[in-house]
Amino acid sequence: MSLKPPVVWCVGGSDSSAHAGLQADLRSGQDLACHVQTIVTCVTAQNSKQVRLVEPVSLLMFNEQWQTLLDDIPPDAIKVSLLPSAELVLACSTWLKRMKADYPNLLVVFDPVMAASSESGNRLQQTSAGMSLLDHILPYVDVITPNLMEFELLTGISGEQGLTELQDSLNTQFSLSTCHWLLKGGHGSSEQATDWLIDKTATIGFSTPRLNVHNTRGTGCTLSTALASFISHGYDLLDAVTMAKAYITGALKSGVKIGTGAGPLGRPGWPLQIENLPEILLPETKEQSYIRAFPAIPAEEIGLYPVVDSVAWLKLVLENGVKTAQLRIKDASAKGLAADIQQAIDLGNQYHARVFINDYWRLAIQYDAYGVHLGQEDLSTANLSEIRKAGLALGISTHGYYEIARAQSIQPSYIALGHIFPTQTKDMPSQPQGLKRLAQYARLLEGHYPTVAIGGIDAERVQPVVQTGVDSVALVTAITKAIDPEAATQSLLTLFAEEKLARNEREAFH
């Protein structure tokens, strides 16, 4: 029996050319393993060149579509786009208010369609738009996705001003709103197409090279529906935006020539191509792409990867054959911290092993460590240039697509993926990733960066974790809480090697 796919409700117009509108929503949702249900706001007569006629549905029909769907099954996410009349704006506002009250965790994406993206530029939105539209819809929206033209028409704020000024303007004008603004940069003229996610406290850029392609119809529809689809699969907003941006890049690359005007986007499937991931831009940390990568580690050489909290534990695992390990001392004020780190590095040299020092990058540089491992919170404070200049390898923890994209721009020696299962050693702000997502991450990074799975992995879970395609498995309590740690270490080394061999043989057979 197959699992029920997430259900996404798409509210918008029917496009007779099937290049955009609800037809594009249906294709995108299906491509991303969602079941899209539609609430039609209008029927349009359009082709690849022009929008000839827009005819709104009656208020009775609009309301009946909402109620009929709701009588059967609620959605996992809602995407709202074309609202062609004032009465439908008011009705949609009423329904969204009700849905938000009844389903507080339901997220709503709003793509404020103001005009067709065809050469004709015929306006689709027939309401007075602007502030009246936002007054009624914005209070019930979690993410709004305007391009620069739509943003200025809706808000009267210029999208060309600096990011700080833009954020201040939004905070002033929409002080009561908790909505995130995803300001799309696809219509700009720079070499990069950067979308900026702006809320009251942060501004994050998602940047990809601008593509010189002709078949671009339905870009806005596809992005917002992809965003709603990933949200419906349970991804948080930063992951969902990262994935939607990667999906759009793949869709633009695979556009189809249908008609004499601009054709529709392609449907590239789940975003598993690392070259389509956006670069993450964080203005406050001045992060940018690095030309030179950190030292490479052959993926097949990392092996089993214990993470231990003392020099004594490190010595034990190295004595029993481990070739990659991490010293993670949580208390920065611990007595003898520097001496412990120096001793750990000496043990690594003694046993010809790769010993990574967690967090304490200055001491790692001082005592000439093999490598440093950093969490996401450390990336904004650590001096990555100094670590690279010292020749140290670098591992980075990630917890989803957004953090993988951020790590990729740094070009680390390996990327850790976690936490896979609930952990005993650390309180985590995110939910466990699980095996399905782990397999997607491993496929995304295969051949580009070695991958290390971490979090709640014991002896019974090594086999299914290895079969996802990751290169290495990090263990903590499977060794440190074992009755016989030496025997557990040796047994886990053997188990890991056997499972890697079995996986390689299966891959070679297929």
pLDDT value at residue 175: 87
The reply, when asked if residue 330 is annotated as ligand binding, is yes
Question: 95 pLDDT exceeds 50?
Answer: yes
The reply, when asked if residue 424 is annotated as ligand binding, is yes
CA 142 – CA 163 distance, rounded (Å)? 20
SS3 201: coil
Tokens for 480, please give them. Answer: 């440190």
Q: Helix 86-102 crosses helix 59-70 at what angle (to 10 degrees)?
A: 20
Q: Are the C-beta atoms of 217 and 266 separated by less than 8 Å?
A: no
Q: Which fold has domain 299-509?
A: TIM Barrel (3.20.20)
Residues 6+ apart with CB under 8 A from 233: 6, 32, 33, 34
Peptide bond into 419 cis (omega under 30): yes
Residue in 50, 13, 25 with CA at minimum distance from that of residue 261: 50
Where does the pLDDT of residue 32 fall: very low under 50, low under 70, confident under 90, or very high at 90 and above? very high
H or E element, residue 277: none
Question: 117 pLDDT exceeds 80?
Answer: no
The reply, when asked if residue 213 is annotated as ligand binding, is no
The reply, when asked if residue 378 is annotated as ligand binding, is yes
pLDDT value at residue 332: 81
CA 272 – CA 377 distance, rounded (Å)? 25
Q: What is the mean pLDDT of the chain?
A: 92
The reply, when asked if residue 423 is annotated as ligand binding, is yes
| Beta-bridge partners for 473 | 304, 453
Helices (H), 54-129: 59-70, 86-102
State the DSSP code for 229: H
pLDDT value at residue 287: 46
Where does the pLDDT of residue 163 fall: very low under 50, low under 70, confident under 90, or very high at 90 and above? confident
CA 179 – CA 436 distance, rounded (Å)? 30
SS3 499: helix
Residue in 31, 113, 36 with CA at minimum distance from that of residue 80: 113
Model confidence, pTM: 0.94
* Residues forming CATH 3.20.20.70 domain(s) in the chain: 299-509
pLDDT value at residue 119: 39
pLDDT value at residue 116: 44
Question: 120 pLDDT exceeds 80?
Answer: no
The reply, when asked if residue 27 is annotated as ligand binding, is no
pLDDT value at residue 502: 93
Q: What is the mean pLDDT of residues 221-225?
A: 97
The reply, when asked if residue 168 is annotated as ligand binding, is no
The reply, when asked if residue 72 is annotated as ligand binding, is no
Residue in 186, 239, 180 with CA at minimum distance from that of residue 211: 186
Helices (H), 114-236: 130-137, 148-155, 163-173, 219-232
How many other C-beta atoms lie within 10 A of the C-beta of residue 257? 12
Among 3.40.50.2300, 3.40.1190.20, 3.30.9.10, 3.30.930.10, name the CATH number for the domain at 7-281.
3.40.1190.20
Question: 496 pLDDT exceeds 50?
Answer: yes
| Of 106-110, 160-164, 312-316, 481-485, the least confident | 160-164
* Residues forming CATH 3.40.1190.20 domain(s) in the chain: 7-281
CA 39 – CA 80 distance, rounded (Å)? 9
Q: Are the C-beta atoms of 55 and 43 separated by less than 8 Å?
A: yes
Angle of CA points 169, 246, 229, to nearest 5°: 80
The reply, when asked if residue 327 is annotated as ligand binding, is yes
The reply, when asked if residue 476 is annotated as ligand binding, is yes
pLDDT value at residue 284: 61
pLDDT value at residue 126: 44
Residue in 28, 27, 33, 108 with CA at minimum distance from that of residue 75: 108
The reply, when asked if residue 397 is annotated as ligand binding, is yes
Where does the pLDDT of residue 127 fall: very low under 50, low under 70, confident under 90, or very high at 90 and above? very low
The reply, when asked if residue 285 is annotated as ligand binding, is no
The reply, when asked if residue 326 is annotated as ligand binding, is yes
Question: 118 pLDDT exceeds 80?
Answer: no
The reply, when asked if residue 315 is annotated as ligand binding, is no
Instruction: Convert the pLDDT of each residue in 407-438 to its tens digit.
Output: 998 999 999 999 999 977 666 667 899 999 99
CA 470 – CA 476 distance, rounded (Å)? 17
Q: What is the mean pLDDT of residues 41-54?
A: 94
| Of 117-131, 251-265, 363-377, 381-395, the least confident | 117-131
The reply, when asked if residue 212 is annotated as ligand binding, is no
Instruction: Convert the pLDDT of each residue in 8-24 to its tens digit.
Output: 999 999 999 999 999 99
* Max Cα-Cα span within the chain: 79
What are the CA-CA distances from residue 400 to residues 49, 162, 406 (Å)? 40, 29, 10
pLDDT value at residue 219: 94
Q: Are the C-beta atoms of 41 and 56 separated by less than 8 Å?
A: yes
Residue in 494, 478, 344, 362 with CA at minimum distance from that of residue 423: 478
The reply, when asked if residue 256 is annotated as ligand binding, is no
Residues 6+ apart with CB under 8 A from 501: none
State the DSSP code for 184: B
Instruction: Convert the pLDDT of each residue in 280-315 to its tens digit.
Output: 998 765 445 555 689 999 999 999 999 999 999 999
